[in-house]
Structure 1
Amino acid sequence: MSQDIVNHFVAGEEFEGKSTRTAPVFDPAKGVSTKQVRLASTDDVEHAVQKAEAAFASWSSMSMTKRNQVLFRFRELLEAKKGELAEIITSEHGKVLSDALGEITRGQEVVEFACGLPHLLKGQFSLNASTGVDVYSLTQPLGVVGIISPFNFPAMVPMWFFPVAIAAGNTVILKPSEKDPSAANWMAALWKEAGLPDGVFNVVHGDKEAVDALLEHPVVQSISFVGSTPIARYVYETGARAGKRIQALGGAKNHMLVLPDADVDVAADAAVNAGFGSAGERCMAISVVVAVDPVGDTLVESIAKKMSAIQVGDGRRSCDMGPLVTEAHRDKVASYIDVAREDGATVVVDGREVAVDGDDQGFWLGPTLVDNVPTSSRVYGEEIFGPVLSVVRVSSYDEGVDLINSGAFGNGTAIFTNDGGAARKFVTQIEVGMIGVNVPIPVPMAYYSFGGWKHSMFGDSRAHGEEGFRFFTRQKVVTSRWPEPSHGGLNLGFPQN
């Protein structure tokens, strides 16, 4: 039986391309392939780059007022139709509809931030910096830019980048994950409806061949990437060698430090929400709870009790948590439960035993809680990217901070305490890019920038916020003198006044 094919979207229309390669797209809650997605060849990427390059001159020279009108229109259409997009995300990723809607809302915040482009793109002016000499700065777009986004947030992560890139006057080629590609095409069609000229926003589906083609193409000026640390490092090194600007956001192992004075019930709620939302498939998920003695036993008991209320099932039903994105990923995540037991940890809740409100063939794994995890275990050291929450016991605040700071990742972290002094000290001492104080998932608002430290980010610029606008623009400084008619004579030195 033939299946629908997700085509590329280039220059305002669907584009089949020359490549005949495809990959299956699954409904994770049913465990069946529902469609195929085209995998671009190097020639297909070349076609998209040419269309984006052709559109750049007119889009970049369009007034900021007109560009802003398109962004506002896109924002209004997204608000009106986001239910459609949420259904697409749930059908291909598996997250529950409310989570999909939340993802879209967070992405929409960046669209709204980018609508402030007239202010964010203005330069500076110094009158009479030297006698009769004025100095001013201006910003200009880069040209064609590439975005490579992951499966776990098929709408939000692309929206971290493309609203800012488009507002700044660039043209965009988005390479979404081949696991859930349809959201990208839906957003491309919405841009067209909003009045964005053809060729400004393009979608090319594919695998490593498409990624490498973008990384190595001489016309593509920058790459924005979110994904695992090994691939982020590859994108950074490959793109940098090709002379591109790179912002590559990698993996994470986020800790939540719980002090003895914390409200245990609040901390347990936070650990469950942050550990199992979106089935733990997010780089800002809390995957390690660091319990400072003597709070550990009470905290683990409370977390386990709250986990029992989570209903796992089809995200289109009244469920709290959906399946994992693929069968292979589900099996990999589940294998860590046996590793934990072999390494001497206590499996308090085994997600393989969960009762599911969904099809038997779905890629299910319920919330899992593992206590007393040794820091030497792979369960502690590796990014699991699934609904497995580890608990590590420490004897003091200082031991907890040292544990977090010794890790390879530095994406997000949180502290739960009622001690303001301890919280302030934690914010200063911790070597992590995004920090929550009694907030388990400290994803910043769109007008701040997103990005971690250490092996959680490669490159010098983080996503969205003012850093995002700086990433997608180049600055010029102009020194200008308009001499009066009476001016004359030679002066070979630097101006002194």
Structure 2
Amino acid sequence: MKVNSQAIRIQNHINGEWEDEVGGQYVPLRNPSTGQVIGEVPISSPETSRRAVAAAAAAFPAWKAMPLPKRMNYIHLMHQALKDNLEALAQAVAVDQGKHIAEARGEVGRVIEIVQMACAIPALIQGETIQGIANNINGRVIKAPIGVFCGVAPFNFPALVFGWFIPFAIGTGNTFVYKPSTESPLFMQKMMQLLVDIGLPKGVVNVVHGERETVEAWYDDDNVSGVCLVGSTPTAQAIAAGCGRNGKKTMLLGGAKNFLLAMEDAPMDLLIENVLMSGYGSAGQRCLAVSNIAVVPEIYDEFVERLVAASKGVRVGDATDPEVFMGPVISAKAKERIERYVDIGVAEGATLALDGRNPSVSEGNKEGYFVGPTIFTNVTPCMQIAREEIFGPVLSVIKIGCIDSALDAIRKHKLGNGACIFTQNTYYTEKFISEADVGMVGVNVGICAPHPYLPFGGIKGSLVGNNKVQGKDAIDFFTQNKVATVRIVEPGAKPAAAGNAGNGAVRSCVAS
């Protein structure tokens, strides 16, 4: 593979040292906006992956024993480093992930908020005490760190997933091995250097790059306590199976197919604005992007007319161009997959109201991976384009009879990440919140992403297991409850006679 002299060489970071994958395979790193090779990424061997775990395991005892205020000082320094380097980190996301620079800044900004929330760990990690369980005996619950955790990030949110995993894991006293996507590793390359610069001890956070074999090396590694993932449902299921054989904890967020319901009283201007941001932001490559839009008959025609007109005005182009609204999809393979779904929709009988294939872009971006806004109308919930996750800027508009019909379609779908309703009616609002069979609900918002104070995650096929990210849920996942039974003994007191064991003494305590 030929790369220019300015090529980015992505490296692993193990036990405080940057490393090449000596003698190993490398894959090209491309800029999705141009299609050009800008660097190379190592495919780490299972042996390299296990070395990273060993480094994290070696660092764990000292990190766990570090006084909490000192450990939290690194989280505060991480927070400040993110703020000081927001633009450089956002540019990294825009270059190798293809996310528009404005959205890349927003992603890093959200990570700053998440790390700010992680600064509250000392309050959230506090245990519980029960006084007077018996004479002079108290009970105590301690939230203790567990050991080495490993995490797998998707290509679409390289910064956000770092924020979901690492600050909470290390803030609670664990150590970490992180595998970024080989398609968008540049954020973590820069972020890891910032962790080095703030003086984070060696081995507390390690980074390895690779593919399936890199992750599978963790399943049978006794040093690994748990594995985290944001990715597809099949990948989540595979990791659950591999970790389950060895009793490892998992936090696994899977795929999505999100619904948006527009009722007859929906504020139309707000609705259109939010559909554009949700459906076309990040080129539709996010787990909470709107995909299926259910619209009641009273406003269906007006909605379709206005959505198509507004979508035609969406400018597509280089992710670093501030005048552009939507950047590319991640790769040529992703572009081909999305375009196949457009063919499928046409074959199924849906109306292609707006064809986003071959959008107009500048001359320097002709080789980029662009799909423009695409809209299908006359879609039914049973069509393949309405059932399967496309992960691109493709919207399916469904004429739905009433709120009950929409809720039924949401209920029957195998995935249950998020759903939104646009209405000014309190009855519709409360009914939708109560009955929408998803993990996250939005009202008059196009992206129902919870604030970092609250848990993030779906249900059904969108969440394998029941552990969600961020907020108190993250604290619970990265800690274990240790229970202590403590007898208070007066100095110099004589032990009670056997016949008086009931007078404050414990004869035996057997749990059954």
TM-score, scaled to structure 2: 0.94
Q: Deviations over 1:377-429 (max 9, x none)?
A: 21111100000011011111111110111100000110110101110011111
- What is the CA distance between 1:483 and its match in structure 2? 2.7
The separation in 2 between residues aligned to 1:82 and 1:470, in whole angstroms, is 29
Provide the secondary structure at the position in 2 that maps to 1:75. Answer: helix
The separation in 1 between residues aligned to 2:125 and 2:379, in whole angstroms, is 49
Paired amino acid for 1:124? E
Assess if the C-alpha contact under 8 Å between 2:151 and 2:178 holds in 1.
yes
The separation in 2 between residues aligned to 1:36 and 1:493, in whole angstroms, is 64
The correspondence of residues 273-288 of structure 1 with structure 2, limited to 5 A, is 273-288=277-292
May I ask how many residue pairs the two structures share in their alignment?
495
Find the counterpart in structure 2 of residue 395 from structure 1: 401
Assess if the C-alpha contact under 8 Å between 1:150 and 1:177 holds in 2.
yes
Find the counterpart in structure 2 of residue 447 from structure 1: 453
Paired amino acid for 1:284? L
Find the counterpart in structure 2 of residue 488 from structure 1: 496
Paired amino acid for 1:369? I
Paired amino acid for 2:340? S
The separation in 2 between residues aligned to 1:439 and 1:339, in whole angstroms, is 29
Paired amino acid for 1:344? G
Q: Deviations over 1:63-113 (max 9, x none)?
A: 110011111111111101111111111110111111111111112222111
Assess if the C-alpha contact under 8 Å between 2:21 and 2:43 holds in 1.
no
The separation in 1 between residues aligned to 2:51 and 2:212, in whole angstroms, is 17
- Which residue of 344, 353, 361 maps to 1:356? 361
The separation in 2 between residues aligned to 1:90 and 1:214, in whole angstroms, is 31
Aligned Cα root-mean-square deviation (Å): 1.4
Structure 1 position 237 matched with structure 2 position 241:
yes
Structure 1 position 16 matched with structure 2 position 20:
yes
Paired amino acid for 2:274? A
- What is the CA distance between 1:493 and its match in structure 2? 6.3
The separation in 1 between residues aligned to 2:267 and 2:84, in whole angstroms, is 39
The separation in 2 between residues aligned to 1:117 and 1:183, in whole angstroms, is 25
Find the counterpart in structure 1 of residue 343 from structure 2: 338
The separation in 1 between residues aligned to 2:220 and 2:251, in whole angstroms, is 15
- What is the CA distance between 1:459 and its match in structure 2? 1.6
The separation in 1 between residues aligned to 2:392 and 2:326, in whole angstroms, is 11
Find the counterpart in structure 1 of residue 152 from structure 2: 148
- Which residue of 44, 48, 67 maps to 1:44? 48
Find the counterpart in structure 2 of residue 328 from structure 1: 333
Provide the secondary structure at the position in 2 that maps to 1:164. Answer: helix
The separation in 2 between residues aligned to 1:476 and 1:227, in whole angstroms, is 31
Paired amino acid for 2:146? L
- What is the CA distance between 1:17 and its match in structure 2? 3.4
Assess if the C-alpha contact under 8 Å between 2:358 and 2:370 holds in 1.
no
Find the counterpart in structure 2 of residue 476 from structure 1: 482
The separation in 2 between residues aligned to 1:149 and 1:364, in whole angstroms, is 23
Paired amino acid for 1:269? E
Q: Percent identity?
A: 35
Find the counterpart in structure 1 of residue 82 from structure 2: 78
Provide the secondary structure at the position in 1 that maps to 2:319. Answer: coil
The separation in 2 between residues aligned to 1:216 and 1:83, in whole angstroms, is 40
Paired amino acid for 2:479? T
> Which deviates more from structure 2 when the two are superposed, residues 210-219 or residues 387-396?
210-219
Q: Deviations over 1:39-60 (max 9, x none)?
A: 1101101211111111111111
The separation in 2 between residues aligned to 1:258 and 1:23, in whole angstroms, is 44
Kindly tell me: are residues 201 and 494 of structure 1, through their superposed partners in 2, closer, same or farther at Cα, counting changes over 3 Å? closer
The separation in 1 between residues aligned to 2:88 and 2:442, in whole angstroms, is 32
Assess if the C-alpha contact under 8 Å between 2:49 and 2:215 holds in 1.
no
Paired amino acid for 2:347? E
The correspondence of residues 382-461 of structure 1 with structure 2, limited to 5 A, is 382-461=388-467
Assess if the C-alpha contact under 8 Å between 1:18 and 1:41 holds in 2.
no
Q: Deviations over 1:296-327 (max 9, x none)?
A: 11111111121122110001112110011000
Structure 1 position 371 matched with structure 2 position 367:
no
Find the counterpart in structure 2 of residue 126 from structure 1: 130
Provide the secondary structure at the position in 1 that maps to 2:392. Answer: coil
Provide the secondary structure at the position in 2 that maps to 1:356. Answer: coil
Find the counterpart in structure 1 of residue 504 from structure 2: none
Assess if the C-alpha contact under 8 Å between 1:343 and 1:374 holds in 2.
no
Query: Stretches of 4+ moved more than 4 A in 1?
Result: none
Provide the secondary structure at the position in 2 that maps to 1:440. Answer: coil
Kindly tell me: are residues 131 and 182 of structure 1, through their superposed partners in 2, closer, same or farther at Cα, counting changes over 3 Å? same
The separation in 2 between residues aligned to 1:348 and 1:219, in whole angstroms, is 54
Assess if the C-alpha contact under 8 Å between 1:412 and 1:442 holds in 2.
yes
- What is the CA distance between 1:139 and its match in structure 2? 1.4
- What is the CA distance between 1:486 and its match in structure 2? 4.5
Paired amino acid for 1:36? E
Provide the secondary structure at the position in 1 that maps to 2:56. Answer: helix
The separation in 1 between residues aligned to 2:76 and 2:242, in whole angstroms, is 36
The separation in 1 between residues aligned to 2:404 and 2:25, in whole angstroms, is 54
Assess if the C-alpha contact under 8 Å between 1:264 and 1:302 holds in 2.
no
The separation in 2 between residues aligned to 1:289 and 1:256, in whole angstroms, is 5
Provide the secondary structure at the position in 1 that maps to 2:357. Answer: helix
Paired amino acid for 1:154? P
- Which residue of 259, 262, 276 maps to 2:263? 259
Find the counterpart in structure 2 of residue 30 from structure 1: 34
Structure 2: gaps of 5 or more residues: 502-506
Q: Deviations over 1:166-211 (max 9, x none)?
A: 1001110001101111211211111111221111011000011101
The separation in 1 between residues aligned to 2:251 and 2:201, in whole angstroms, is 26
